[in-house]
Amino acid sequence: MAKCEPTPSPTFSIIIAAYNDWAPLQGCLHSLGQQRNPPAFEVIVVDDGSAEPAPESVRKWSENYPIVIDRQPHTGVSAARNHGLRLAHGPIFVFVDADSRLHTDCLAILAEATRQFPDRNCFQLHLVGNSSTLVGRTEELRLATIQDHMLQPDGAIRYLNTAGFAIRRPDVDVAAGLFNPSARRGEDTLLMVTLMQRGELPLFVKNSIVEHAVSLSLLQYLRKAIRSAYLEAGTYKMIAAKGVNIRVSHGERIEMLSAMWRTSRKPTIGRVAWFVLLARQALPRLVSLGYRLASPD
């Protein structure tokens, strides 16, 4: 595949926050190097105080495309992404995670969507799981159901996930930052609420596909879900203070579980993934309930 030639005027500034993520980041950077007919892009990697600085194997990607690696003290993913904004040059910011893998036409299709819909300011890429592992199949089931359920009739989506999200520069106060550093987790959901209050939601770009390649064991996956629920509780309090209700109803939850059960019949996913996802959904809710009961407010 053709390499992207260095350019001072990239169309996309791809921002990746990394924290001890050098191994999965290699896969992400490799997927960027494999893009087919992409627009000009630059990559901004913000090292959020990892135990070790970026290895030479990461820095060598500068041979394939413009890449900046900047290190900051560990202040969290929101602050790292905001820092990346201030280093970026492109008119469109694209956020991906270190464990994201962009399909070969991802950037070309996203670029076409930004041209086709000039009135749209933000874009949610289509996230999929890696079906080669049980955790990956569980993620595929979760992501497919959420995206199907949250898709709106006008093509927008009531969902925002920074494993694959783009926004135009004029819609961002670069100096102030896009993400709230007080949100330790769920910062993308908090951003979605801000967009909803402005009267805009991301356009869903179905064919611009990003694989969220979670490299965790089953036990690590469930532990992360519990920890995330604990950290997200504070973010949901901030969302509630804005007067916006984004939680799905019990009826919607049952409907989504039913849809997941039907989807799990596919041989590429399987019923076991449904039961793992059920556990993943139930454990955080128990933690969230405990947080609310223990909160003095």
Domain boundaries, the chain: 12-216
Q: How far apart are CA 90 and CA 52, in angstroms?
A: 29
One pLDDT digit (tens) per residue for the chain, 297 residues: 444 444 458 999 999 999 999 999 999 999 999 999 999 999 999 999 999 999 999 999 999 999 999 999 999 999 999 999 999 999 999 999 999 999 999 999 999 999 999 999 999 999 999 989 999 999 999 999 999 999 999 999 999 999 999 999 999 999 999 999 988 888 999 999 999 999 999 999 999 999 998 888 899 999 888 888 778 878 888 888 888 877 777 788 889 889 999 999 999 999 999 999 999 888 867 766 665 666 665
Q: Return the residue matching tokens 């820092």.
A: 83
Share of the chain above pLDDT 90, in %: 74
Q: Return the residue matching tokens 């997927």.
A: 31
Q: How far apart are CA 10 and CA 81, in angstroms?
A: 18
The answer to whether the CB of 252 falls within 8 A of the CB of 158 is no
Q: What is the mean pLDDT of the chain?
A: 91
Tokens of 45: 């990697």
Specify the CATH architecture of the domain 12-216. Alpha-Beta Complex (3.90)
Residue 168 DSSP SS3: strand
> CA angle 280-216-264, nearest 5°?
50
pLDDT at site 230: 78
Residue range 7-64, pLDDT digits in tens = 458 999 999 999 999 999 999 999 999 999 999 999 999 999 999 999 999 999 999 9
Q: How far apart are CA 284 and CA 229, in angstroms?
A: 5
Q: How far apart are CA 68 and CA 29, in angstroms?
A: 12
Listed residue (78, 19, 69) closest to 42, CA to CA: 69
Residue range 155-176, pLDDT digits in tens = 999 999 999 999 999 999 999 9
Q: How far apart are CA 281 and CA 275, in angstroms?
A: 10
Q: Return the residue matching tokens 């799990």.
A: 264
pTM (2 d.p.) = 0.90
The answer to whether the CB of 10 falls within 8 A of the CB of 32 is no
Identify residue 297 by its one-letter amino acid code. Answer: D
The answer to whether the CB of 39 falls within 8 A of the CB of 140 is no
Listed residue (67, 6, 2) closest to 35, CA to CA: 2
